[in-house]
Amino acid sequence: MNGYLPPKQKIINFINDFKKEEGHYPSVTEFNESPFSPCSTKTIQRHYGGFIKIKKEMGIEDYDLRKKVASYHSAQHYDTNTDLNNFLFSKFKVIINEEHNENTRNKSKYGIYSQNYHFFIENFFTTSINNTMNCINQRIKKIKDSTKEDVYLVLMNEELDKKTIYKNIKFKKNPIPSNIKFMFMSEFIKYCETLKPVV
């Protein structure tokens, strides 16, 4: 994308296509992180006056809606995170927050000790397949070189299409490292039931 300036209409088309797929217009972060984005928002700022300006020219007034989407997302994550937390505490008893290394950005939410097995959990909640793949890629980038222990990426939203997500993971350009494992929450809980807690 370096040196490439897409026509303004191509940017507008991407924004509209994103809305059709995701149910809301893209934020700056979503625009920049999408693999289908025609350019960066920095390019838009330099040549077209800014990302917000283009959205205003399109007649988009989605700022309150974006807050509502974020609020809903946060509430859903809180509920499912509480469920997972309760399960882990009741099952394993020993749960700690650990850093993979001295860089605090490389931190898993949970460190779990079962009999003869120590692993980490990175749980997250998304509302679309595209955002799910973005989250997976971000977490892999964050933790792939920070630990050799197993890390489970646990998706908390059971309503997304599992077959499509697993297919996308299977055909990723850069395969997931062997110590990083993706599961939906129900699958992860089922797996944890096979593990023995520390007595």
Return the CATH number at 85: 3.40.1350
Q: Say if residue 107 is in the same domain as residue 33.
A: no
Q: Say if residue 47 is in the same domain as residue 74.
A: no
Look at residues 44, 61, 78 and tell me which one is the last residue of a structural domain.
61
Region 165-183: what's the mean pLDDT? 91
pLDDT of residue 79: 62
Name, in order, each residue with C-beta under 8 angstroms of 32's C-beta and a sequence gap of 6 or more: 40, 41
Instruction: Give the pLDDT band of residue 99 (cuts 50, 70, 90).
Output: very low
84: number of Cβ within 10 Å: 20
Residue of higher predicted confidence among 143 and 97: 143
Q: What is the tally of structural domains in the chain?
A: 2
CA distance 138 to 157: 18
Give the pairing type, strands 151-155 and 180-184.
parallel
- Mean pLDDT lowest among 78-82, 137-141, 185-189: 78-82
> Mean pLDDT of all residues in the chain?
80
Contacts 24+ apart (CB under 8 A), 84-89: 84/123, 84/154, 84/156, 84/185, 84/189, 87/189, 87/192, 88/112, 88/121, 88/192
Residue of higher predicted confidence among 71 and 89: 89
Look at residues 46, 61, 76 and tell me which one is the last residue of a structural domain.
61
Region 21-33: what's the mean pLDDT? 81
Instruction: Assess contact for 112 and 152: CB atoms under 8 A.
Output: no
Tokens in use for 136? 């997976």
Enclosing domain of residue 24: 8-61
Q: Say if residue 114 is in the same domain as residue 26.
A: no
Residue 3 lies in a domain: no
Cross-strand partners of 189: none
Give the pairing type, strands 117-124 and 107-114.
antiparallel
pTM for this structure?
A: 0.59
CA distance 119 to 104: 18
Q: Say if residue 121 is in the same domain as residue 76.
A: yes
Give the closest residue to 83 by CA, choosing from 149, 136, 154, 139: 154
